[in-house]
Structure 1
Amino acid sequence: MNITVVGSTNIDLVYLVPHIVAAGETLHSTKHELFFGGKGANQAVTAGQLGAMVHFIGNVGADDFGEQIKQNLQDKGVNIAAVQNVGITGQAIIQLADSGENSIILFPGANFLVTPEQIEQHAERIVSSEVLLLQLEIPMSAVETAANIASKNGVPIILNPAPAQQISDSLLSKISILTPNETELAILTGMKTETEEELFQACSSLLQKGVGAVVVTLGAKGAYYMNHFEHGYVQANKVVAKDTTGAGDAFNGALAVGLCQRSSIKDSILYASKLSAYVVTQMGAQPAIPSSFRVKS
């Protein structure tokens, strides 16, 4: 299982609060914790812990946080040969409410210094991969460069379109599996996504633009998926959530592992759903994953 992740790394500064702060409100935090994060790093660490050979392409800061992130990636089984130290490490300021819900402010830092030229320098890593995993916390030009390399060489691409923004039809046409949540799907399509019929119509519009399959993550409700042959819901395991930060990233990392295993899309979603259900019962976006989830080689 050879997976390349092109994306972001962050230090997550987590503040536990009774509820998400409202506009104009001052709220005391009951606890502060520091975790490793960044959507790209979260996905890479997940796949690495599940038994994949993972190469990460991206940036960390030329600072102590950057060195800590690189060491953590290595410790979690991720190859960091293509990680550069430049600028200031990206940071996420996270409010975590007693309910388990969160609110996040991102400072991109070194993540926004990832360039198309940097991606091209490591094109061979993408070409030799079984899956390329992308998100949108680095410049779109870098994302598009990675997707172009993968598409020209027949490498399947999973794109997690977060943070939500508009994506060109050219990029969409190269995506094997697109994994938005409901809000991201609505922004991508300009359509409502509240009912099953609305999900069907929104996903259909993306398939018409060349996307191979759409997997919509629905939190506690599970996921809704569609390709050119089937569609339907996959239910989520019921758990008591402590921290939902990184749940979607864990889902994507596990989905990439499932794709490498040549599992059906539904079986891959089931596997990813079980893993993300476990992750929300732990603190932080990169918790240690039990060996029971690890794919047997």
Structure 2
Amino acid sequence: MSRKNNVTVICFGEVLWDNFPSGKKPGGAIMNVAYHLKNLGVNSHLISKIGKDGNGAELQQVLNHLGIDDTYVQIDEKHKTSTVEVHVGEDNEVTYEIVQPVAWDFITPENPHTRLVAQADALVYGSLSGRTETSRKTLEHLLELAPYRVMDVNLRAPHYNESYISSLLHKTDLLKLNLDELGIISNWFSQQCKTETDRVDLLQNKFNIPEMVVTKGGKGASYYGVKTEHHWPAYNIKVKDTVGSGDSFLAGLLSMKLSNEYINDTLDFAVALSAYITTQEGACPVYEKSAINRFMMKHKKNWSMDII
């Protein structure tokens, strides 16, 4: 299998401002994925929507600064740019209020989107991005066109339910989720699952999902294909900031997988990238791919792999 160059990935979903007590920071899982893909040499394009307001103008500046293509980011005359209110309570407990409705709740289909998605290598979307009917219908239209559909589970109450998530799972080629999300979703359909593998098997069989990736923080990540499993351990590092680490993992995974790299190399790079990002400040720090390669060499250990 030869290596594929000039990979193109379309990212559909939210761009926003996280309003922390200390100030606001640009965010949105899908925006983060688009940034890391671009940083890794993938042609990434973002389909989203911002308001015609000050926050929207600032976000456009951020996208341009980060090198993220905003050609397909729509401008909403009526709805505001998305914000997330971040509240820090007692014992530093953090809660998030994802304001609704906002501009990215009203992404509408356009002819350029159709051509873009149909000709791309993959479409990445988060479960949060279809919380309203308008954006959901646009996403469903694009899913019919995409050659490879990658779903990033992002369960944020009250913005999801079993019926909606199930409808997306039926149209997913690669599902990425963490252990907590795996537990929540699998419990909707069975209370008998005792292990991670049981839960993965349940979802793959029920929804005919060819590939699943489960991220496990300090325990690494696992890939489940058709009758195959690959497990990769985490890097032993000192964590500074976990914001956006899962998004960087997905970008690292896709940058390698869509280039036809071996799955073990793919998992290793994705785990390493997410680990590196946790040693930096913010979800989208400045770095080059060569820095990740150096990081991997520095932290590489003699691991024993459980590969089936």
TM-score by length of 2: 0.79
| CA–CA distance in structure 2, aligned partners of residues 151 and 210 of structure 1 | 16
User: Could you tell me how far 1:284 is from its partner in structure 2?
Assistant: 1.6
Aligned to 2:85: 93
Shift of 1:45: 0.8
1:130 to 116, 121, 127: 121
Give the distance between the partners of 2:213 and 2:194, measured in 1 at CA.
15
Paired position in structure 2 for 1:7? 13
Q: 1:265 to 1:169 in 2, by over 3 A?
A: farther
CA distance in 2, matches of 1:257, 1:105: 32
Deviation digits for residues 118-174 of structure 1, max 9, x if unmatched? Answer: 266611111111111110232255356435534545x11111011254345453232
Task: Indicate if the aligned counterparts of 2:127 and 2:165 stay in contact, CA closer than 8 A.
Answer: no
Shift of 1:181: 0.8
1:25-64 map, 5 Å = 32-64=22-54
Change (3 A) 1:143 1:238: farther
Aligned ranges 1:178-189 → 2 under 5 Å: 178-189=175-186
1:22-68 deviation line (CA, Å, top 9, x unaligned): xxxxxxxxxx1432101111111111111111111011122122122
2: CA distance, partners of 1:131 / 1:96: 37
**Deviations 1:187-236 (Å, cap 9, x if unpaired)?**
211179xxx96110110111112111111111111112211131142111
- Over the aligned positions, Cα root-mean-square deviation in angstroms equals 2.9
SS of equivalent residue, structure 1 residue 54: strand
Amino acid at match of 1:75: H
Using the aligned pairs only, state the percent identity. 23
Give, in whole Å, the separation in 2 of the partners of 1:45 and 1:100. 29
2:187 is matched with: 190
TM-score w.r.t. length of structure 1: 0.81
Q: Is the 8 A contact 2:50 2:104 kept in 1?
A: no
1:81 lines up with 2:43 in the alignment: no
For residue 273 of structure 2, the aligned residue among 272, 275, 284 is 275
Change (3 A) 1:284 1:11: same
Give the letter aligned to residue 57 of structure 1: I
**Match of 2:13, as an amino acid?**
G
- One-letter amino acid of the counterpart of residue 9, structure 1: V
Gap regions ≥5 residues in structure 2:
1-6, 294-308
Higher helix share: 2
Q: CA–CA distance in 1 between the matches of 2:111 and 2:165?
A: 20
Q: Is the 8 A contact 2:174 2:211 kept in 1?
A: yes
Task: Name the amino acid aligned to 1:172.
Answer: L
Q: Contact conserved, 1:130 with 1:260, CA < 8 A, in 2?
A: yes
- In structure 1, what residue type is equivalent to 2:10? T
Whole-Å Cα distance in 1 between the matches of residues 275 and 95 of structure 2?
Answer: 19
C-alpha distance 286-125 of structure 1, shift in aligned 2 (>3 A): same
* Matched positions, count: 274
- Residues 242-277 of structure 1: CA distance to partner in whole angstroms, max 9, x if unpaired? 211111111112222122211233322221111111
The alpha-carbon distance between structure 1 residues 189 and 246, as it changes in their structure 2 partners (threshold 3 A), is same
Contact residue 114 and residue 145 of structure 2 kept, 8 A: no
Determine if contact 1:36/1:286 at 8 Å carries over to the other structure. Answer: no
Structure 1: state its 5+ residue gaps.
16-31
CA contact (8 A) 1:48 1:76 kept: no
Name the structure, 1 or 2, with higher relative contact order (CA <8 Å, separation 6+). 1
